[in-house]
Chain A
Amino acid sequence: MKGSLKGLTRRRILVGGGVALAGVYARMLPAFAPAFAYDTPILTRTIPSTGEQVPAVGMGSWITFNVGANETLRAARAEVLRAFFEAGGALVDSSPMYGSSEEVIGWCLEHLGHPPRLFSATKVWTLTQFMGRRQMTASEEQWRSGGLDLIQIHNLVDWEAHLETLREWKGEGRIRYLGATTSHGRRHSEMIEVMRGNDLDTVQFTYNILDREAESRLLPLAADRGMAVIVNRPFRRGKLFEHVAGHPLPEWAYEIDCANWAQFFLKFILSHPTVTCAIPATSKVAHMRENMGAAYGRMPDRDLRARMVNCVEGL
């Protein structure tokens, strides 16, 4: 298909609008240098309930891994996943809501010989405890990874019923962690109630440089309750790239080892002390390498974080 109505993609924005950025980037790094070529070890964060360390940049799979049965597209996604693990990544997040994503991830993992570093995170997204059990069992099979590390209650759908099952499965050792998720700006009050009244290992919600509502209640509560925080929509579903299109990365961004806007956005998130892991999604190997680069090098301090916000809000 070549016909196009809009055709505005992250790559086009970056290529078409980022001439100045490309120039600076070319001076800073040798040609074809991997975006994570730093001497520092990958940034990891602790899951408070166990003390386990996980790399701070994970991988989401909404849209990007929903490629159905097409083997060419599956093979391309396997390369994305390979780049993720090669760059030190571990946490892969999915959901039964994401179409064929779980099955495709399972196919890719098998294709890659089951990377041992995998931290598998999926969700339960259905009504009734019975259907939840069936769905989670299906997820176990689709991932082909011999068990799941984390299951989260997707958007708090029928959370009381599923929490009972997750507690039971965790007690049996069938999963290692349980959690709950919500997406941008929705059901925050209910999420707070669930967090206050239940022992969750992880919570997942939206947080990025322009959507910072989580700073006021969700992040402090997660810190207080000892819950790991997984951040979704770190790029505001790609809208952040449209927001900065045509604007070069500020010179001072190199002080925190940012080579591109993706790393700028991710380092803002990762520098919040309560955040455990951000899960950007991509279907491109080059973008995966850029994303993973955010888990290396220096991180912004409080002052620089404020400067980052002012910079992006001012564009």
Chain B
Amino acid sequence: MLPYTRDVYFALFETYNAAIWPAQIAAIALAVLAVLLVLRTRPYGGRVAAAVIAAAWGWTGIAFHWLTFSTVNYLAPAFAVLFVVAALLFAWTGMIRGKLDLRFERSVRGWSGLGLVAAGLFGYVLFGWLAGSEWPQMAFFGVAPGPTVVFTLGILALAHPRVPWHLAVIPLVWALTGALIGWTLDILQDVVLLGGGVVLFVLALARRRN
């Protein structure tokens, strides 16, 4: 049982979004730039995408989980650690070592990855709006866990030749955690996380078998 209610959760987002504005726009702009670089198969596309993801996970871990969410959830500091670890893994593997090779292929896997990326950047917000949220209550890529995880899963689905599992573990774990929280609080858009995680999982397994 969660120690807070749905109303409190959205009130938290209202305060948080107002405090960090316009960081949401900056995060989405950087992510769009990274995706364009990946789609145009620029050699440094993987490094830029990894840097954007590392920054997004680091920000979300510290600004959201550690400084904001921890006021209502005693588990939030542990979530913060998890997010910072993910940020460090992306920074080390993708940004510093350049081991995240991203390619868009016109295949089920490629389109699924791109779909998840779009869902993280825009679809998540749209879904929230359709479910009745107004902007201050919405979760945005780069500053909130849900869309950041969906975007990350989409990018990982584009990894070549296979999904780097050490980078995928934490996003998958959070996808399940976020979906459970979303289910408990009746937050429809968060339940979508589970679908995203499962899609990546299935695609990655299929790629390994090939």
Contacts and interface: CB of A to CB of B under 8 A. Distances in A.
Nearest to A101: B3
Interface of chain A: mostly helix, strand, loop or mixed: loop
Interface of B: 1-8, 10-12, 14-15, 71-74, 130-133, 137, 183, 186-188, 191
A62 B191 CA distance: 25
A70 B131 contact: no
A2 B189 CA distance: 12
B8 A66 contact: yes
A73 interface: yes
Interface stretch (A3-11, A35-43, A173-181): A3-11
A5 B132 contact: no
Given A66-B3, A67-B11, A68-B8, A1 B72 contact: no
Given A97-B74, A99-B4, A99-B72, A5 B183 contact: yes
B131 A68 contact: no
A68 B3 contact: no
Contact of B14 (A5, A70, A100): A70
Given A4-B186, A5-B186, A100 B11 contact: no
A7 B184 CA distance: 10
Which of B3, B14, B132 has its CB near the most chain A CB atoms (within 10 A)? B3
B191 A5 contact: yes
A68 B188 contact: no
Interface in A162-201: none
Contacts of B12: 68, 70
A237 B183 contact: no
Given A70-B8, A100-B72, A1 B3 contact: no
B15 A69 contact: yes
A3 B131 contact: yes
B142 to A, nearest CB: 22
A153 B72 CA distance: 21
Contacts of A73: 7-8, 11
Nearest to B131: A3
Given A68-B15, A70-B15, A99-B71, A63 B186 contact: no
Contact of A70 (B1, B3, B11, B130): B11
Contact of B74 (A1, A68, A99, A237): A99
A237 B3 CA distance: 12
Contacts of B1: 63, 237
A117 B3 CA distance: 27
Given A1-B131, A69-B71, A97-B74, A63 B4 contact: yes
A68 B67 CA distance: 12
A6 B184 CA distance: 9
Nearest to B183: A5
Contacts of B183: 5
Given A66-B3, A70-B14, A99-B72, A3 B186 contact: yes
Given A98-B3, A99-B4, A99-B71, A5 B188 contact: yes
A221 B110 CA distance: 66
Contact of A1 (B2, B4, B73, B137): B137
A1 B133 contact: yes
Contact of A67 (B8, B137, B188): B8
Contacts of A70: 8, 11-12, 14-15
A68 B11 contact: yes
Contacts of B10: 1
Nearest to A96: B74
A3 B132 contact: yes
A1 B6 contact: yes
Given A73-B8, A97-B3, 9 more contacts: A1-B131, A1-B187, A4-B186, A62-B3, A63-B2, A68-B4, A68-B11, A68-B71, A99-B72
Contacts of A96: 74
Contacts of B8: 66-68, 70, 73
Contact of A7 (B131, B186, B187): B186
B132 A2 contact: yes
Nearest to B132: A2
A179 to B, nearest CB: 21
Nearest to A73: B11
Interface string A270-286: 00000000000001000
A68 B6 CA distance: 12
